[in-house]
Amino acid sequence: MAKSDVTVVLAHGAWADGSSWARVITALDADGIKAQAAPLPLTSLADDVAALNRSLDRTDGPIVLAGHAYAGAVIALARPARVKALVYVAALAPDEGEKVADVFYRLPPHPQAPKLAPDDNGLIWLPEDAFAAAFAQNATGEDHAVLAAVQRPISLNCITVPAGRPLWKDVPSWFLIAEQDRMIVPETQRFMAERMKATIRALSVDHTPSVTAPRVVADIIRDAVHAASGK
């Protein structure tokens, strides 16, 4: 299979790290598509955008950016020069001047969504039982244990500052709406996807399909890659 000249850069959301993309990376590799996961510190929106841009600097050629959950806000603020498409995976897409918290709390939460509160350091950790209840309810017990063990907390500084002009106003976007999502209300996902005029795929998956339905995620990324490469 011919290798694509497009590099996919994957940005993890809150309470995750790059390992949450492992199965998507291997699925894309099988399709001849190179992918790398960008490590985000989750310390502030500006810090995360800077970290993502550093990962972009390590690539050559055209880029497709994919973001999960909170990282939707991050990929939309990346340096645009080589970014040809954006892929939102059950992700948040604040408009210019909106905060991540504004869109996250736009509608009442799912009954099984966890109660979130910062600790004394201003960091929000996900309760361990929330991985099975809401974060990835379709995952195995082994996956839940790993997700809980590697989780990275998110700072209030990530979700309480207004976002800048989002890149989705200027480049094509794809959006995977997770219909079984218990973290980000599916109706909110659809509102954001329609607002950004994304190519929408609504599927019966949970909040973290990169773990529980990786082929589905790889397929929508592959569509964006093909569009970006003109193939």
Q: What is the pLDDT of residue 139?
A: 98
Residue holding tokens 């604040």? 94
Whether the model pTM is above 0.85: yes
Sequence-separated contacts (24+) of 141-144 with Cβ below 8 Å: 143/211, 143/212
Length, in residues, of the chain:
231
pLDDT, residue 112, reads 84
Class of CATH domain 7-229: alpha beta
For the chain, domain boundaries: 7-229
Query: What pLDDT, on a 0 to 100 scale, did the predictor assign at position 231?
Result: 59
Tally helices (H) and strands (E) across the chain: 10, 8
Sign of the CA dihedral with 222 first, then 188, 46, and 169 last: positive
In order of 49, 128, 139, the CA distances from 9 in angstroms are: 13, 28, 24
81: Cβ contacts below 8 Å, ≥ 6 apart: none
Helix (H) / strand (E) element for 96: namely none
Q: What is the DSSP letter of 6?
A: P
Q: What is the pLDDT along the chain (231 residues), one digit of tens a residue?
A: 557 899 999 999 999 999 999 999 999 999 999 999 999 999 999 999 999 999 999 999 999 999 999 999 999 999 988 999 999 999 999 999 999 999 998 888 888 889 889 999 999 999 999 999 999 999 999 999 999 999 999 999 999 999 999 999 999 999 999 999 999 999 999 999 999 999 999 999 999 999 999 999 999 999 999 999 875
| 3-state SS track over 102-171 | HHHCCCCCCCCCCCCCECCCCEECCCCCHHHHHHCCCCCHHHHHHHHHHCCCEEHHHHCCCCCCCHHHCC
Distance of CA 122 to the CA centre of its chain: 22
Please tell me the number of Cα atoms within 13 Å of 176 on its side-chain side: 33
CA 135, distance to chain mean position in Å, is 13
Cβ atoms of 82 and 62 within 8 Å: the answer is yes
Measured in whole angstroms, the distance separating CA 175 from the mean position of its chain's CA atoms is: 10
In the numeric block, which tokens belong to residue 224?
A: 């964006």
